[in-house]
């Protein structure tokens, strides 16, 4: 603010100086023509000539200075009005406009500023309207996603758990009928009930994994994964270990996708792998995020049917959406390893690193 006032003061002094100089030039030209035309008479004494000249010079200087001050003050007042409107625009106040400032360049500048303000106001109104529409669309999309997820879980409950429970019920009824007639057969049926109950329990645990929050409840990826893994380790007869770099900072969208990929992989391990050990690693070698999920289960032979039933297609789509690579290594009786790599770039193209 002080610098701006200093510049205005310097402009006023400069304008006064230029006006005084111009006045002296005009005064000299007038004196020259008057002297050439013989209109000037000699003074009676040199003292009278000096006194008259100094008085005339003072009048000319004062006139030029007053004129320069008047014109510069008029200009600075109009510039100050434009500056105040610009400061209001900088603060987000679009209601203030520049008054009419004349027909010269400054006046036209004020008119152009008013036009810019009007267009800016229209753009802000449009952006706010779009923001409201986007919020409504996001709410509808969220509701649709919830409905779709509920329908998917309902289908899986019906296709997996409900069928297992129905089979358990039928087998239990058969046990009651054959217990007195064939004890060995009844015993085999009881073992079958235990196995089906174990499978149904694994299915339920796998489905419950998908009920975990999609957006990590405001936690970082490593925090959400640790909480999920600790909860799972306390509920399943499986050795679960992990190595998660806690200092990794990722965009929220990437964290959500990686979290859901881990959910899907763990769900597959609970349902199909019959594994005794599950390992998860999250590291950042250089400018790449590496996620590794490994189990020592039965493995499987890769084919299109397995891709669909094991959720591999879904995991690949999530990895593709964040620009990563997806590899799965498995074979019958060899366990399964999933390797995911995601390059992490900032908006300007620079890699996002870990915290110092």
Q: Which residues of 2-39 are buried (b: 16+ CB within 10 A; e: fewer)?
A: eeeeeebeeebeebbeebbeebeeebeeeeeeeeeeee
Helical residues (DSSP H) of 37-159, grouped into ranges: 46-90, 105-156
194 band by pLDDT with thresholds 50, 70 and 90: confident
Q: What pLDDT was estimated at residue 340?
A: 93
Rounded Cα distance between 281 and 4, Å, is 59
- Provide mean pLDDT across the span 207-215: 54
Residue 207 or 126, more confident: 126
What token pair was written down for 121?
């106001």
Residue 334 or 212, more confident: 334
Residue-wise DSSP of 3-41: HHHHHHHHHHHHHHHHHHHHHHHHHHHHHHHHHHTT-PP
79 band by pLDDT with thresholds 50, 70 and 90: confident
In sequence order, the 6+-apart residues with CB closer than 8 A to the CB of 247 are: 354, 355
Rounded Cα distance between 53 and 200, Å, is 116
Q: What pLDDT was estimated at residue 348?
A: 36
What token pair was written down for 331?
């074979």
* Domain parsing of the chain, residue ranges: 2-96, 217-356
The pLDDT tens digits of the residues spanning 182-191 come to 777 777 777 7
Best mean pLDDT range from 38-42, 127-131, 311-315, 338-342:
338-342
Residue (of 100, 85, 99, 72) closest to 9 by Cα position: 72
14 band by pLDDT with thresholds 50, 70 and 90: confident
Can you tell me whether residue 320 is helix, strand or coil? helix
154 band by pLDDT with thresholds 50, 70 and 90: low
Q: What pLDDT was estimated at residue 243?
A: 94
CA angle at 137 for the pair 131 and 138, rounded to the nearest 5°: 85
Q: Give the chain's mean pLDDT.
A: 76
pLDDT at residue 35 is higher than 70? no
Q: What pLDDT was estimated at residue 96?
A: 74
Chain centroid offset of residue 139 CA? 18
pLDDT at residue 192 is higher than 60? yes
Q: What pLDDT was estimated at residue 293?
A: 94
In sequence order, the 6+-apart residues with CB closer than 8 A to the CB of 326 are: 315, 316, 319, 320, 338, 339, 340
Q: What pLDDT was estimated at residue 133?
A: 73
Expressed in angstroms, the distance from the first to the final Cα of the chain is: 39
Can you tell me whether residue 309 is helix, strand or coil? helix
Can you tell me whether residue 141 is helix, strand or coil? helix
Q: What is the gyration radius of the CA atoms in the chain, in angstroms?
A: 42
Question: With pLDDT > 70 as the criterion, what percentage of the chain qualifies?
Answer: 72
The model's pTM is: 0.48
Length of the chain: 356
pLDDT at residue 230 is higher than 90? no
Can you tell me whether residue 344 is helix, strand or coil? coil
Any idea which architecture 217-356 has in CATH? 2-Layer Sandwich (3.30)
Residue 151 or 172, more confident: 172
In sequence order, the 6+-apart residues with CB closer than 8 A to the CB of 197 are: 164, 168
Rounded Cα distance between 262 and 268, Å, is 10
Rounded Cα distance between 320 and 253, Å, is 13
pLDDT at residue 205 is higher than 50? yes
pLDDT at residue 45 is higher than 90? no
Q: Where are the beta strands (DSSP E) in 205-335?
A: 239-244, 277-283, 288-295, 325-330
Q: What pLDDT was estimated at residue 211?
A: 54
């Amino acid at each position: 603010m002080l610098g701006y006032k200093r510049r205005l003061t310097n402009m006023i002094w400069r304008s006064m100086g230029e006006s005084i100089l111009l006045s002296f030039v005009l005064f000299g030209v007038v004196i020259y023509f008057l002297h050439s035309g013989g209109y000037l008479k000699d003074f009676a004494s040199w003292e009278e000539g000096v006194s008259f000249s100094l008085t005339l010079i003072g009048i000319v200087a004062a006139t030029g200075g007053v004129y320069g001050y008047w014109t510069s003050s008029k200009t600075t007042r109009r510039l100050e009005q434009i500056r105040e409107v610009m400061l209001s625009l900088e603060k987000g106040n679009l209601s203030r406009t520049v008054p009419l400032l004349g027909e010269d360049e400054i006046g036209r500048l004020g008119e152009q500023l008013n036009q810019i303000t009007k267009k800016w106001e229209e753009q802000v109104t449009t952006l706010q309207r779009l923001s409201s529409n986007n919020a409504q669309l996001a709410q509808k999309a969220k509701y649709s996603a919830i409905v779709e997820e509920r329908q998917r879980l309902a289908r899986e409950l019906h296709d997996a758990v409900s069928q297992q429970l129905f089979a358990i019920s039928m087998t239990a009824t058969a046990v009651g009928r054959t217990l007195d007639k064939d004890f060995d057969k009844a015993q085999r049926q009881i073992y079958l009930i235990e196995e089906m109950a174990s499978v149904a329990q694994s299915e339920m645990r796998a489905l419950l994994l998908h009920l975990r929050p999609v957006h990590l409840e405001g936690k970082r990826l490593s925090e959400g994964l640790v909480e999920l893994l600790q909860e799972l380790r306390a509920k399943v007869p499986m050795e679960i270990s992990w190595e998660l770099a806690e200092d990794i900072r990722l965009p929220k969208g990437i964290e959500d996708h990686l979290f859901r990929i881990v959910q899907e992989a763990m769900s597959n391990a609970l349902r199909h792998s019959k594994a005794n050990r599950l390992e998860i690693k999250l590291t950042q070698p250089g400018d790449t995020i590496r996620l590794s999920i490994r189990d020592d289960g039965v493995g499987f032979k890769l084919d299109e049917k397995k891709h669909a039933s094991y959720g591999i297609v879904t995991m690949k789509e999530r990895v593709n959406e964040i620009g990563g690579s997806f590899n799965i290594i498995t074979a019958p009786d060899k366990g399964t390893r999933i390797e995911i790599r995601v390059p992490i770039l900032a908006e300007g193209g620079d890699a996002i690193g870990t915290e110092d």
